[in-house]
């Protein structure tokens, strides 16, 4: 319990508050990535919705192209957010080490009664960086599979639509999905 109470008391020091704000920002980017992934997943399932007579049908080449454009934009947005989230996650150990170095520099310049505070500042910054790195790496493992799956689904959709367009151009038929 002493470890937890020491961490909680240290949260408002300069080094640790930077890590806390960065953790909040990373959590927000995770949420955005997760939301975009869900929208893309839903849009990739349009063929399943076509079995439902109440759903809007995609029946013209223009509708198919618009759907492809939407899916491509969502995929690009998802990949940008995911890449940003993944890179932010990797920064936490660095922030912890930065806090450690900052505190240890303070110890070296002020060898008096404050070296204990500086030492604890170094340790708590490292601890917070590691804790948030672990949390967000776990979240990374949850969403990375979904991002990869959606990328494969987009590629399959584009390939299928391309094949359909070529076969329809050869036969002169309209597009019905």
Residue 177 lies in a domain: no
Q: What is the pLDDT along the chain (177 residues), one digit of tens a residue?
A: 677 887 777 777 767 888 888 899 999 999 999 999 999 888 887 655 554 556 555 556 677 778 888 888 888 888 888 888 888 888 888 888 888 877 776 665 666 566 677 777 777 888 888 888 888 888 887 788 788 888 888 888 888 888 877 877 777 655 554
Instruction: Show Cβ contacts of residue 120 under 8 Å, excluding neighbours closer than 6 positions.
Output: 6, 10
Domain count, the chain: 1
Contact 19, 98 (CB under 8 A): no
Residue 176 lies in a domain: no
How far, in Å, are 17, 93, 144 from residue 85 at the CA level?
19, 15, 10
What is the rounded CA–CA span in Å between residue 69 and residue 60?
Answer: 14
Tens of pLDDT, residues 102-132: 777 666 566 656 667 777 777 788 888 888 8
Residue 44 lies in a domain: yes
Q: What is the pTM of this model?
A: 0.61
Domain containing residue 82: 2-171
Residue 28 lies in a domain: yes
Residue whose tokens read 């930065």: 98
What is the rounded CA–CA span in Å between residue 119 and residue 130?
Answer: 17
Where are the strands (E) in 10-56, listed by range? none
Residue 148 lies in a domain: yes
């Amino acid at each position: 319990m002493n470890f937890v109470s020491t961490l909680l008391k240290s949260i408002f020091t300069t080094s640790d508050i930077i890590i806390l704000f960065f953790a909040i920002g990373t959590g927000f980017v995770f949420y955005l990535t997760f939301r975009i992934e869900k929208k893309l997943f839903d849009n990739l399932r349009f063929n399943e919705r076509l079995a439902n007579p109440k759903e809007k049908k995609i029946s013209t080449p223009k509708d198919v192209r618009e759907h492809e454009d939407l899916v491509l934009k969502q995929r690009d947005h998802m990949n940008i957010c995911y890449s940003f989230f993944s890179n932010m996650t990797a920064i936490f150990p660095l922030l912890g080490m930065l806090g450690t170095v900052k505190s240890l520099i303070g110890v070296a310049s002020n060898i008096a009664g404050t070296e204990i505070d500086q030492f604890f500042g170094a340790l708590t910054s490292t601890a917070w960086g590691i804790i948030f790195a672990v949390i967000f790496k776990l979240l990374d493992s949850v969403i990375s599979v979904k991002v990869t799956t959606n990328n494969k689904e987009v590629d399959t959709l584009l390939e299928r639509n391309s094949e359909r367009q070529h076969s329809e151009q050869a036969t002169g038929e309209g597009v019905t999905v």
